[in-house]
Structure 1
Amino acid sequence: MDVTLGYLRESLSNHLENEVCLRICKKMLANRYANEEEFVKDLDDDEMAYLNQVLEKEIKYAQDEQDQKRAKELNEVYELLL
């Protein structure tokens, strides 16, 4: 799995109570995406909107924890959503 998608999957594991999040995680497990671009192209509008919200919070958390590597990797997906 792509490193960036690995960070994303780990971040999403904190939000599995949400139906859209579960759908995204199942999609990640069912498909072997080569990179984050391929993954984002496979998302529907609801999934993109959900990820947009979650990633804003997760990136801020990573920055607050001074985990620049995690923040950078998550930001790569976030930028593709915009």
Structure 2
Amino acid sequence: MDTTLGYLREILSNYTDKHAISREIYKKLESKLDDEISFVRSLDQEQTQFLNDILPQEIEHALDEQDFPRTSELNHIYELLI
């Protein structure tokens, strides 16, 4: 799994207890997807919207923590979604 998807998987693990859609997306990440583009293409509209809702705050959190590699990787996946 590439770094970007690894960060996304870690974030989603924080949401799986409260959001069924997060569990669905997490399962997609567990499958053998080649890269971020393949992952984004595999998402339906509701899954894309969920990620669009949570990623800005997660990017902001990574920025606040001065975790610049994580910020960059999460921003990359966010840009692919929009």
1:48 aligns with 2:48: yes
Gaps of 5+ in 2: none
Paired residue for 1:10?
10
Gaps of 5+ in 1: none
SS state at 1:50 partner: helix
Determine what percentage of the aligned residue pairs are the same residue.
47
SS state at 1:8 partner: helix
Paired residue for 2:27?
26
Q: Taking structure 2 as the reference length, what is the TM-score of the superposition?
A: 0.95
Structure 1 segments of 4+ aligned residues over 3 angstroms from their partners:
none
Q: Give the C-alpha shift of residue 62 in structure 1.
A: 0.3
Q: Give the C-alpha shift of residue 6 in structure 1.
A: 0.3
Q: Taking structure 1 as the reference length, what is the TM-score of the superposition?
A: 0.95
Q: Which has the higher contact order (CA 8 A, sep 6+)?
A: 1
